[in-house]
Amino acid sequence: MSQSPLGANVSDESVLKYKQGWRALNRLLHQDRSFSGRERNCAFINCEGKGFADNSAISGFDFPDDARAVVATDWDFDGDLDVWVSCRNAPRIRLLENRSLNKSDWLGIKLEGDGSLVNKDAIGAKVHVLTDQSDKPIIRTVYAGDGFLSQSGTFLHFGLGNIGKLNKVLVFWPDGTSYEVKGINKSNYYS
């Protein structure tokens, strides 16, 4: 990953190289070419409060494609998130299937509005999942899009880890109404 020069203690040579780099990028842009620095794609894993570890090579994310967009969705409906990557160059689209053997509990919920008070896609709805092992709910929101040139699947995915029991699911609709569901089983999809 590229970085700008930092601080006042930067040599004149470093500043000159930095400016030359910007000129080169500007030239590429005017020639309608990519100004990608040929950086490899990166993926990091959360080390539970101890920072992040680079997981790029082992996860398969470090391919040299000029990636532009990423979408996480459970493509094969096995409970873990797979990743679609859209690239500027070939291959234009790439599926990275999650083949992790470490399976944890999860929950998938797809909401649908009534089409009058709440839009059919339930955009703006929030879902709170409450468990018996935490006072804090796990919250997901239905969005129209997730990022640059991308939109994830229509199911809200809750990675539950090894929680105990699901107490209840609360749905907060965009029109201000709410709905409570009990008796939901882990590692299932609901709509």
Q: What is the pLDDT of residues 163-186, one digit of tens each?
A: 878 999 999 999 999 999 999 999
The pTM score is 0.74
Q: How many domains does the chain have?
A: 3
Q: Is the pLDDT of residue 71 over 80?
A: yes
Whether 22 is covered by a domain: the verdict is yes
What percentage of the chain exceeds 70 in pLDDT?
92
Residue pLDDT, tens place only, 86-145: 888 778 899 999 988 888 899 999 999 999 999 999 999 999 999 988 889 999 999 988
pLDDT at 59 over 90: no
CA terminus-to-terminus distance, the chain: 41
Dihedral of CA 181/189/69/38: which sign? positive
Is 65 in contact with 123 (CB distance < 8 Å)? Answer: no
Q: What range defines the domain where residue 160 resides?
A: 105-190
Residues 133 and 165 grouped into a single domain = yes
The answer to whether residue 5 is domain-embedded is no
Residue 67 identity: A
Give the torsion sign (CA, 94, 82, 63, 22): positive
**Reduced to 3 states, what is the DSSP secondary structure of residue 18?**
helix
* 2, part of any domain: no
